[in-house]
Structure 1
Amino acid sequence: MTDAPVDKPLTVLIACDTYPPHLNGAAQFGYRLARGMHGRGHNVHVLAPNDVNGGSRSDLEGEWPVHRLRSHGVPTHEYWRICLPWEIKKEIALLFDRVQPDVVHIQCHYMVGEYTLYEARKRGIRVIATNHFMPANLDPFLPFPKWLKRIVATNSWKDMGKVMGQAQVVTTPTPLAAEAMYRHAFLHDVMPLSNGIDASVYELHDGEQIPPHEAPTVLFVGRLAEEKHVDVLIDAVAKTPAHLGVRAEIIGGGEVRTALEAQVQRLGLQDRVVFRGLVSDEELREAYLKADLFCMPGTAELQSLVTLEAMSASKPVLLADAMALPHLVDKGRNGYLFTPGDSSELAGRITEILELPADEREKMGRTSREMVDRHSLEATLSTFEDLYRGDQGKRVNAG
């Protein structure tokens, strides 16, 4: 295996088990990685499950080719798709014949990532593996008792170690995630490398004016899934002082939306909690800029790109004290952590921030924006580019 010359554009095959139009952090990272490497002049190909029923196909009309493998829906998830080994192994081999990649970058140890890695190893092609996954992400979709879910989680960690241990370099967004992979998957030397963000996208343009909401508004963005605990935010809004008139704006879709809407009805918050569903990128940007603060009550976040987006828009943040979220809070300066599941504590923090003078809230938002600088997307792309070429590199952009 030889390293690629520094000045030679690379053919990069990015293998994803979830990719847009799926809406989750791993899918968005795969897209941003492809866009970033394409922008740097590399020949990018993406391999992902087909997002609809039917056979394998290649979408060649976009800026880079996206090759879709035959996949099947999962009854317990609204959009997740799985690929079966006996249906995709030959397809992956044929794709390697056509594309002739210099480097492969897998985003998961499940079917697409696993069998792409095996094919690359057979051919002596360099592999970089990035993990965006925690076993807790699966819990809501496994109709099993807790003892069986624990066995599934243990086996999933074991499989992660078996697959990703064959890559030349393994990365994950935060040091905490790297430590979890060491403890549970027995993967040594995992590199913490932020997913990265282009903060300028979420800043106000010169001369741009976006009026705030009429009432103070807490924003949540993300998949409406059990592990996001949006119900805690809704309960917290109900517990804030009536004179503040606090609203919650919830962006995203998912399997628990019906239950959350029923909770809102039960609490009589129909005029204070707004479900916006899926929105365009421009609508999302405007939502960040209009909000007074951002809340992420989730407990299985490996980094939380949506929190970084809100911080890029100069918003104070209230985050559950779980997984990687503490890395994004400087207590009292850009926001606060709260005990996971404690809606009373969260309500108190919402009240505390919204009762601050406007200039103090703005100062907290500026601190959020300053903290995002260490998550520069350009630094992340540069580090991956070094890794693709065989340079283990020292430009580590840790979360």
Structure 2
Amino acid sequence: MRIAMLTNNYKPFVGGVPISIERLSNGLRELGHQVYIFAPSYEGQVEEPYVIRYRSHKRKLGGKIVVPYILDQSIEFGFSQIPFDIIHVHHPMLMGYIAQYLGWKYDIPIVFTYHTRYEQYLHYLPPYDHLQRYCNNNSKSKIRRLEKKVLYNGGEKLVTVHNRVFTNKCSLVLAPTNSMKEYLLNNGTITNVQVIPTGLLDEDFTYDSDRAKDIRRRHINGRKYLFCTVSRLEKEKNISFLLKGLARFKANAGDCFRFLVIGDGSERAQLEEEARLLGIWDNAIFTGCINHEELPNYYRACDSFLFASRSETQGIVLLEAMAVGLPVVAVEASGVNDVVKDGFNGYLSELDVEQWEAKLSLLLEKEGKREWMSCNAIEEAISYHASNVSKKVEQLYFDQIANERVVEYL
């Protein structure tokens, strides 16, 4: 097969969608297929075979996120040079519109992966961000609550309607978890929805014991526990919640831990200041970005992976941490609940600092149970191996192409 992957973001941007695209593309190539990725241009990008770059707007969303220039004629020109069998698009907006156009013009089935809870990202849009800031600064609490309700509900409904219309124009929709499949169906998607997670690689399960011990020794600084999270440092990732939870944990359990915040983003300075104000400046270590190949060693060096994002559709970092036996303490959310089994391979709490801190304390109470959870975490991660994922997607592609030919014949 000749497969066209269309995306609004890709390497060198760090995020779950580029990881998912790269892993699926490589897996499909190993099965003998030709996969081309249509991706925006970035400063400092590394040219790769089978990656077709198109222009980006000079102005970035939120000052950081590249915005595709979808009117770039090189997109259709590059597409027209290859007789593609199927289009796989990874966003419902921007390149999503181009995918719909190309699918219609060249009579090719369109597969769409629902990667992102887009209603959680509305603050990146300038009009919405201005309204949100106004609501937060309004001194009258009743008016502020009413404005926030209208703001959030209105934005969420708009996104839901848009995505329902988009998904129902696709041939097939892929969701990374069962909860995301149910979410789409409950919001009116009638197109066939199949559950296909982002897969893990062999290297996600391997680590260097000596290197992990060295990382732990270097960062723990005489404390008993070492925790970590891996995330872009942006508002939707809810790192602030983790800092508040750990401040409470410190008040209850004492100065017995350090916390590695692995990643970078526009909220970093604000989060560092928050850690200082909460009295955990010496406990929280903001490492910046770390090479993906090194992450298993960092995970293995720690006692628990901490997570509070509610914007995930799967949360690939949860599985990466679990692949080397790291139990998770997370906030309940769609996508997260599919991976973390409360009391089995980690703990889940509501979006409540007191409850979350209690779950963290519970994890640390008994060493034997933590080791049992560690084994369960690895078993859960194994079921998400990338080779299995690529074969499933391959068969779904074949089915869509066959269905298209039957329709043409009729």
**TM, length-normalised to structure 2:** 0.84
Kept in 2, the 8 Å contact 1:172–1:193? The answer is yes
Superposed counterparts of 1:53-92, under 5 Å:
61-62=47-48, 64-72=49-57, 76-85=61-70, 87-88=71-72, 90-92=73-75
Per the alignment, residue 25 of structure 2 pairs with 34
Kept in 1, the 8 Å contact 2:109–2:401? The answer is no
Cα separation, 1, equivalents of 2:41 and 2:343: 45
Per the alignment, residue 391 of structure 2 pairs with 382
- Per-residue CA deviation, residues 46-73 of structure 1 (Å, 9 max, x unaligned), is 01122249xxxx97x53x3212221125
Kept in 2, the 8 Å contact 1:128–1:387? The answer is no
Per the alignment, residue 283 of structure 1 pairs with 294
Cα separation, 1, equivalents of 2:102 and 2:159: 21
C-alpha displacement of 1:282: 2.5
Per the alignment, residue 87 of structure 2 pairs with 104
Alignment identity in percent? 24
- Per-residue CA deviation, residues 323-351 of structure 1 (Å, 9 max, x unaligned), is 221122222221110111x2222222222
Per the alignment, residue 344 of structure 1 pairs with 354
Which structure has more helix as a fraction of its residues?
2
Cα separation, 2, equivalents of 1:164 and 1:93: 22
Q: Which segment drifts farther, 382-391 or 272-281? A: 382-391
Cα separation, 2, equivalents of 1:105 and 1:286: 33
Distance 1:199 1:65, change over 3 A: closer
Kept in 1, the 8 Å contact 2:259–2:283? The answer is yes
Secondary structure (helix, strand or coil) at the match of 1:82 reads coil
Determine which of 246, 263, 267 is the counterpart of 2:274.
Answer: 263
Secondary structure (helix, strand or coil) at the match of 1:154 reads helix
- Number of aligned positions between the proteins: 373
**TM, length-normalised to structure 1:** 0.86
Cα separation, 1, equivalents of 2:206 and 2:188: 39
Gaps of 5+ in 2: 133-147, 403-410
Determine which of 190, 195, 204 is the counterpart of 2:193.
Answer: 190
- The aligned amino acid for 1:198 is L
C-alpha displacement of 1:75: 5.1
Cα separation, 2, equivalents of 1:203 and 1:194: 20
Kept in 1, the 8 Å contact 2:40–2:54? The answer is yes
Kept in 2, the 8 Å contact 1:160–1:185? The answer is no
Superposed counterparts of 1:113-152, under 5 Å:
113-142=96-125, 143=129, 144-145=131-132, 146=148, 147-152=150-155
CA RMSD of aligned residues (A): 2.4
C-alpha displacement of 1:203: 2.8
- The aligned amino acid for 2:82 is V
C-alpha displacement of 1:255: 2.2
Secondary structure (helix, strand or coil) at the match of 2:197 reads coil
Kept in 2, the 8 Å contact 1:48–1:112? The answer is no
Kept in 2, the 8 Å contact 1:48–1:69? The answer is yes
Per the alignment, residue 370 of structure 2 pairs with 361
- The aligned amino acid for 1:194 is P
Distance 1:300 1:129, change over 3 A: same
Distance 1:305 1:392, change over 3 A: farther
